[in-house]
Amino acid sequence: MAQQVDGPRRAPLNRDRVLRAAVVLADEAGIESLSMRNLAQELGVVPMALYKHVANKEQLLDGMVDVVVGEIDPPVRDADWKVAIRQRILSARAVLLRHPWASRVIESRPQPTPVVLDYMNSIVGMFRSGGFSVDLTHHVMHVLGSRMWGFTQELFPASPLPADPATQTATLRELAARYPHIAEIAMAVTHDEGSVVGHGCDDQFEFEFAVDLLLDGFERLHQRGWASRRSTG
């Protein structure tokens, strides 16, 4: 029981509370603000107190990934492999949209945690019960890559064009002079969107487009009985 004098004593921290607070802090202030010192302050505790619950910052990040991965929906039962995998991946994506920092953190983990392995294992299992050979499943998992987690590493996210129409056309003209092919795309996109807002690409569309293209490709290989040169898998 908490001590009466000196105000009610805070319930002791534990690993779970630390991890959840870290996730909230990263969600609200951005991953770059997640330092051991900031997190401790958020928890009303001295920085070194955290080290009683996580070994170091790397393990904190591992734990945060576990929290996030834990939010992904379980696989739907009794569905076609393609539908089931698509749905699972889109669920993962929905989670990552709630935790925009998570994709970068996932990328940075040197070793998978058990929670991560569980998720991957379950995806592999979905291909296998769709009739994919071990060998083909292995390769398509590599092809899926980060999209299995619901994100494409956006290299150089298409920077939004300036909102002001005047500077926008100026920027486009400049772009067209140096990078005509890119400009062509940028112009098509801004036209499509009814312009003005023109905030760039529709990430969700691009993601689903990619996943569908991949799954279609996987299906085709599967149907054709693809087998590697090295084994009959």
Tell which one of 156, 177, 225, 232 touches its own copies (CB under 8 A). Answer: 156
Minimum gap (Å) between residue 15 Cβ and DNA: 9
Out of 5, 178, 223, 232, point to the residue binding its own copies (CB under 8 A). 178
Half-sphere exposure of 141 (CA within 13 A, CB side): 18
Cα separation, 30 vs 25, in Å, equals 7
Answer with the entry of DNA, its own copies, none that 13 interacts with (C-beta below 5 to 8 A by kind).
DNA
Is residue 3 within the footprint of DNA (CB under 7 A)? yes
Q: 15-33 burial, b for 16+ CB within 10 Å, e for fewer?
A: eeebbebbbebbeeeebee
Count residues near DNA (CB under 7 A). 24
**Number of residues forming the site for its own copies (CB under 8 A):** 57
What phi and psi, each to the nearest 5 degrees, are found at residue 2?
-70, 150
Given candidates 20, 52, 98, 199, which one binds DNA under the rule CB under 7 A? 52
Residue 7: CB minimum distance to DNA, A = 12
Show contacts with DNA in window 22-41 (CB under 7 A): 34-38
Verify binding: residue 108, DNA, rule CB under 7 A.
no
Buried residues in 200-217 as b, exposed as e (16+ CB within 10 A):
eeeeeeebeeebeebbee
